[in-house]
Amino acid sequence: MAITMNNTGIVAEDLTAAVEFFIEFGLELEGRAMVEGEWAGHVTGLGDQRVEVAMMRTPDGHSRLELSRFLTPHVIADNRRAPVNTLGYLRVMFEVDDLDETLNRLYKHGAQLVSNEVVQYENVYRLCYIRGPEGILLGLAQSLTWP
């Protein structure tokens, strides 16, 4: 049986700011569209819905991030500032070539380190968690073992 990850979803209030943040990060905007109607609500279980969606992809084309802004029904819960040990899906981890350069670019878009430092795991990775627009939690890792 073959399994391929299609995308990870993040709900945002300001879709434009989220798209701009992830473009600065290095993802590419694959497309932006309105998803609405009963058929969509049958998939999500939300009934009649109207959602603006932006699909982002990694430069290698293997991974996607779906950014959504719900117009109807209204968002009923807000986990954006939940700590990293909150139950459920919480963050996406990306591996980057140059962690310091990536952070410097994302700071200009409001990113903040969660723990105020980048840590090193043995001689394998430099790691950190950051909060992006609207408190979106991302993990960033730089491999120290790649040439």
The domain that contains 49 carries what CATH number? 3.10.180.10
Does residue 87 form part of some domain?
no
Does residue 83 form part of some domain?
no
Let me know whether 30 and 64 are in one domain.
Answer: yes
Give the mean model confidence (pLDDT) for residues 50-77.
93
Let me know whether 16 and 50 are in one domain.
Answer: yes
Structural domain of 41: 8-72
In angstroms, rounded to a whole number, what is the distance separating the alpha carbons of residues 68 and 18?
A: 9
Q: Which of 17, 43, 72 is the last residue of a domain?
A: 72
Residue 130 has pLDDT above 90, yes or no: yes
Does residue 1 form part of some domain?
no
pLDDT classification of 146: cutoffs 50, 70, 90: low
Q: What confidence score (pLDDT) does residue 147 get?
A: 59
Does residue 86 form part of some domain?
no
Q: What confidence score (pLDDT) does residue 38 get?
A: 79
Let me know whether 68 and 97 are in one domain.
Answer: no
Q: What confidence score (pLDDT) does residue 23 get?
A: 97
Q: What confidence score (pLDDT) does residue 6 get?
A: 84
Give the mean model confidence (pLDDT) for residues 24-40.
92
pLDDT in tens, 76-125: 888 888 888 887 777 889 999 999 999 999 999 999 999 889 999 899 99
Instruction: Report how many domains make up the chain.
Output: 2
Let me know whether 13 and 66 are in one domain.
Answer: yes
With pLDDT > 90 as the criterion, what percentage of the chain qualifies? 62
Does residue 53 form part of some domain?
yes
Neighbours of 20 (CB within 10 A): 14
Rg (alpha carbons) of the chain, rounded to whole number: 16
Tokens for 105, please give them.
């670019």
Let me know whether 107 and 138 are in one domain.
Answer: yes
Does residue 3 form part of some domain?
no
Let me know whether 111 and 60 are in one domain.
Answer: no
The DSSP 8-state label assigned to residue 48 in this structure reads S
Angle between helices 15-25 and 99-107 (to 10 degrees): 150
